[in-house]
Structure 1
Amino acid sequence: MMGSYGMGGGGFLMMLVIGALIVVPFWRLLPRFGIPNWVAILAIFPLVALILLWIMAFKDQIDERRA
Structure 2
Amino acid sequence: MMGGYGMGGGGLLFMVIFAALIVIPFWRLLPKFGIPNWVALVAIIPLGALVLLWVMAFRDKLDGGRA
Report the TM-score, using the length of structure 2 for normalisation. Answer: 0.78
Which structure has greater helix proportion?
A: 2
1:12 counterpart = 2:12: yes
Structure 2 stretches lacking a partner, 5+ long: 62-67
Please, what is the CA RMSD of the aligned residues?
1.6
Alignment of 1:1-67 (within 5 A): 4-5=5-6, 7-60=7-60
Greater RCO, 1 or 2 (C-alpha within 8 Å, sep 6+): 1
Quick one: percent identity of the two aligned structures?
69
Max radius of gyration: which structure? 2
Structure 1 stretches lacking a partner, 5+ long: 62-67
Count matched residues.
58
